[in-house]
Chains A and B, each alone.
Chain A
Amino acid sequence: MTMILANILIGVTVSLGVIFILVTAIGLIRLPDIYCRTHAASKSATLGVMFILLGVFLHFWLIEGIVNTRIILGIVFLFITGPVGGHVIGRSAYLSGVKMWDQSVKDELAPVIAERKKLDEQK
């Protein structure tokens, strides 16, 4: 009985994670520009891999009886670094001049960057 419940729990977590990774793949193919793609890739892939690692941890804990702290450490590390990686690559894409989608309506970073360039020239 306990085994069946544990298997159901692991199955639900692992399939949630795989669904999130598939959503990441669909978003990475279908979204129009780099900023939308980082939006899809950083959040959804991070949540998906966290769910899958949670399922792996539950499998080794409930079925094999091993508490493996390295998986917990991996989950925490991915939770910290996944969004940071997405932010950093989006910022470098903007600063290296990748164009936004032609139907986007708002660009709030452009005046800030123009101001900073002006301050740099005054120095």
Chain B
Amino acid sequence: MMLFYWVMVILISLSMVAFIYRLIIGPSVPDRVVALDSLGVALIAMIGLISILADTSFFLDIILLLAILAFIGTVAFSKFLEKGEIIQRDNDLS
């Protein structure tokens, strides 16, 4: 069963290499953001498998943390691409 989990970890690493390839050659900026988002998702899967391999449940907080961080990063970057700023200035004040 351990060998099975190691094979799964290696397959996920191969797909991470594919994501990094897209991150490097991606012709536009949103391509790279999509690749980074998928990289975060693959990292979450890998942490799940590694916490099985290391036989501990202390790493499982990291899953939720990485999910939240990847989502916030994607939304912030797409808002920057769309409007040119991330946190908009208030109209009433100034």
Binding site for B on A (CB under 8 A): 7, 11, 14-15, 17-18, 21-22, 24-26, 28-29, 34, 37-38, 41, 45-46, 48-49, 52-53, 55-56, 59-60, 64, 66, 68, 70-71, 73-74, 77-78, 81-82, 84-86, 88-93, 95-96, 98
Contact = CB atoms under 8 A, between A and B. Distances in A.
Interface string B64-75: 100110110011
B77 to A, nearest CB: 8
B60 A11 contact: no
Contacts of A95: 81-82
Interface residues of B, number: 46
Interface SS of chain A: helix
Given A28-B34, A46-B41, A89-B37, A66 B57 contact: yes
Interface of B: 1, 4-5, 8, 11-12, 14-16, 18-19, 21-22, 28-31, 33-35, 37-38, 41-42, 44-45, 48-49, 51-52, 57, 60-61, 63-64, 67-68, 70-71, 74-75, 77-79, 81-82
